[in-house]
Structure 1
């Protein structure tokens, strides 16, 4: 079909445009509606494809970035070149990313829209300052009585981050951390710098240390080294407000069969928190093993997951630290845990490279679902589940 000669594709008759939009895939529908204002208005009146299906952001070793829809078993190229980015976290269609110059961005994966964030060295309001000592290298200084003392060195590869974006009004919260540092940096929409959240100074003993964290809206939940939950409200203008309730998770112990211990050796142990759609944070204990026997296929990873009786009609996205309502029509499997890698939020294992294992674990059947198209197409250096709406 040729484009109309007068106003081009932007002036297609509404009935024809609606016909086209209704037959697009989820990813193509998102891209089409930002073509122009006319297409956007028509998309609002169109019954589009299933919304909210889990997608994967894939970063192959060969370079570039691709989107993968597990329900369609289909790959999509990203609209713009995102090959130079390291992805730290996501919220809907928005990703928190750091580029090769260690600049932080919020990126819309369905368009070319990017929001440049303050530089790391703008951190203020605490006991630490950050100096850039190279394009990709930083020095952390401890400030005492107005004097700065050199403390730690790190690079952008050591960064971990969380993101929340409100699609209705565009507000956002960004939280980042370096594993070796005992503080966080955060900013909100309109901020020109990051503010510091300390993990020790002026913090009660049971809440000290930062073992894991989850961001849900303006609420930041931190798991302390003593397994207490610290709850911070980031919505105010005066920084982070501590609204913690003294709540401690019970210590967990995993008793393993001796024969299993002989066949496998531990490679990582994790203590994490996850936040359901409603209610209090949950404690998640995981222990991963790799085969010690050469009889198994090389590269096979067997993961012993936390013993949970039932998630019911909900699904846990481990990377994101959230539990969401399941919906089979959207491809969100009930009573399941979605995995991609072992150190998305923190690198507790000390491994030089993460364990990429994209799968969905069903708690009821105790079975693991993988996606053959991923392993047969390319080798991944990174992968991340996300819920685009």
Structure 2
């Protein structure tokens, strides 16, 4: 991966030759180096491990103290991606060659540095044949999946990969009533077990975390355990009162921009760092440019029917709706705005268009666009948040 960053240079004061080794950065104890590495962000971690063999060894036994998402931008009709690190506001990283079809594909899900890419193509009969593949941004490893026909696009697809064994799991809605999966060793899409199939009936949001599949429809939230050979339902709860159903038709008004007339609404599940479940209602009303959010937190200690509490603050955490997780925004950490929601504005209306990456600050009640200089200068087909993986070479 190429980058526009300055080289890291270690400078020490000159001294007597007999004391040179005592001031050499390569001679620092491994325990001290490990403490240093565990305080570095992704970019500094990757740079620091190239200093020398001693620092590389320390990186292999270290784990970053705080990981934050990066953004992948996919320029139209190009075979590379652009990466933005929130900690480095004025830098853009350009990836290596990612395939001739990359610039025409859409990123529909991520897991660590792996992207689930969709390349929809129309035949002469106007039938949409979708090509799916999994791509690692950093190693450029690619796994092609079977094609499928669908006019509905993809409804909240799921991607999971074990980076050691390269076992993987992809779940997608086959239609509005059924879901299918594909995992390592399969040669075609498989209908998921009947119990799970009924659990995802009419689901509009799926989330996979820690071998659990969270399924949300307008009435219930169900959780399935995937740690065994057969998925098992382990939990379900009503979501009445915190999931709103859109009703009524809307007339098109002349001489008013179409975008203002579109009511943008979406409901997402989020699992916090502590394992709490949140439901986030996002809304941009008719004829308005202002976003509104409602956040509900499940309270399992309640004995009443209503187990969802409306909350107005995330504290020191921020929500990334694409990823379905929260991230800790520590004091002094640049790039992540605490008590904020990171989301895709355009993706609420269109199947694949997700260029309008926005940050909504729950304190100021305002939304802004990060790294605006990139958006104004590069035509994009897609944008997505992802967690870069730390490689142990």
1:67–1:265 CA distance, 2 compared to 1 (3 A): same
SS at match of 1:356: coil
SS at match of 2:374: helix
Question: Quick check: 1:278 aligned with 2:278?
Answer: no
TM-score by length of 1: 0.66
**Of 159, 165, 171, the match for 1:163:** 159
- In angstroms, what is the RMSD of aligned CA positions? 4.3
**Of 71, 74, 95, the match for 1:56:** 71
**Match for residue 119 of structure 1?**
146
Aligned counterparts of 2:287 and 2:223: Cα–Cα separation in 1: 38
Contact 1:171 1:188 in 2 (8 A): yes
1:32–1:118 CA distance, 2 compared to 1 (3 A): farther
Aligned counterparts of 2:46 and 2:106: Cα–Cα separation in 1: 23
Contact 1:183 1:199 in 2 (8 A): no
1:228–1:384 CA distance, 2 compared to 1 (3 A): same
Structure 2, unpaired ranges of 5+: 1-6, 8-24, 122-129, 246-252, 296-310
Aligned counterparts of 2:194 and 2:221: Cα–Cα separation in 1: 12
1:54–1:355 CA distance, 2 compared to 1 (3 A): closer
**Match for residue 76 of structure 1?**
93
**Of 308, 313, 325, the match for 1:310:** 313
Question: Quick check: 1:211 aligned with 2:204?
Answer: yes
Instruction: Please report how far the alpha carbon of residue 313 of structure 1 lies from its aligned counterpart in structure 2 after TM superposition.
Output: 1.6
**Of 223, 226, 236, the match for 1:245:** 236
Question: Quick check: 1:109 aligned with 2:104?
Answer: no
Give the count of matched residue pairs: 318
**Of 319, 322, 340, the match for 1:319:** 322
Contact 1:88 1:159 in 2 (8 A): no
Structure 1, unpaired ranges of 5+: 2-13, 121-131, 133-137, 139-152, 255-261, 293-300
Aligned counterparts of 1:29 and 1:202: Cα–Cα separation in 2: 43
Instruction: Please report how far the alpha carbon of residue 363 of structure 1 lies from its aligned counterpart in structure 2 after TM superposition.
Output: 0.7
Contact 1:71 1:331 in 2 (8 A): yes
Contact 1:199 1:209 in 2 (8 A): no
1:213–1:326 CA distance, 2 compared to 1 (3 A): same
Instruction: Please report how far the alpha carbon of residue 84 of structure 1 lies from its aligned counterpart in structure 2 after TM superposition.
Output: 4.4
Instruction: Please report how far the alpha carbon of residue 15 of structure 1 lies from its aligned counterpart in structure 2 after TM superposition.
Output: 4.0
Instruction: Please report how far the alpha carbon of residue 118 of structure 1 lies from its aligned counterpart in structure 2 after TM superposition.
Output: 4.1
TM-score by length of 2: 0.66
Contact 2:242 2:279 in 1 (8 A): no
Contact 2:319 2:327 in 1 (8 A): yes
SS at match of 2:229: coil
**Match for residue 106 of structure 2?**
86
